[in-house]
Amino acid sequence: MKCPGCEKDISDDESVCSGCGLVPGPSVFAVEYAGFSARALALSCDVFVGCILALPPFLLVTTLTRESSWFWVLFVPIFVFYMTVAQFVFHTTAGKRLFGLEVRGAGARVYPDLMALFVRESAGRYLSGLWIAQGYLAATYDSLHMTWADRLAGTIVVKTLPVSRTMKVLRVLLIVGGVSALAMWVFR
């Protein structure tokens, strides 16, 4: 048998790989796929972060042009850039980190490349949002909880990272802040 961690040949009676110290067995590949609610809340936190990132360029362009319709023109590319780069470098985003989620390649225990993440965050998000967000709702009935964006890019989202008490408090603050900001914008 080959060790899934280092590909070294190990005998069936060995309980630990002498090459990397991994305990071989089915638990090595056991992952918990991220459900719809955790992913939706993580996305709402990421949209909040994207709004914060888009605010300085928006204020600069608004000041220079005296035109206030630039927000969505600036937000979409900044959001796609943020999501793509964060997932490529850290394999997670701020919102996903708050919920202990990580993006991986669907085929093996590898991380997706930059182009796959770009496709996931641009075309995949657009396609998933079409027709009453049917592509996002696919995560509720798919066995791997994959959205259309995940299928397009060949990725999965798994629960892997431990969530500390600080992250849980920060998660609540971000959600309350996002809901408060939305309420102030709607009822202005």
Q: What is the per-residue DSSP string for 78-132? A: HHHHHHHHHHHHHSS-HHHHHTTEEEEESSSSS---HHHHHHIIIIIHHHHHHHH
Cβ(48)–Cβ(178) under 8 Å?
yes
pLDDT digits (tens, 9 = 90+) for 102-126: 999 887 668 999 999 999 999 999 9
Q: Note the pTM of the prediction, 2 decimals.
A: 0.76
What are the sequence ranges of the domains in the chain?
1-30, 32-186
Longest dimension (CA), the chain: 73
The mean pLDDT of 141-146, rounded to a whole number, is 90
| Span 169-186, pLDDT tens digits | 887 887 788 778 877 877
Q: Do 82 and 93 touch, CB atoms closer than 8 A?
A: yes
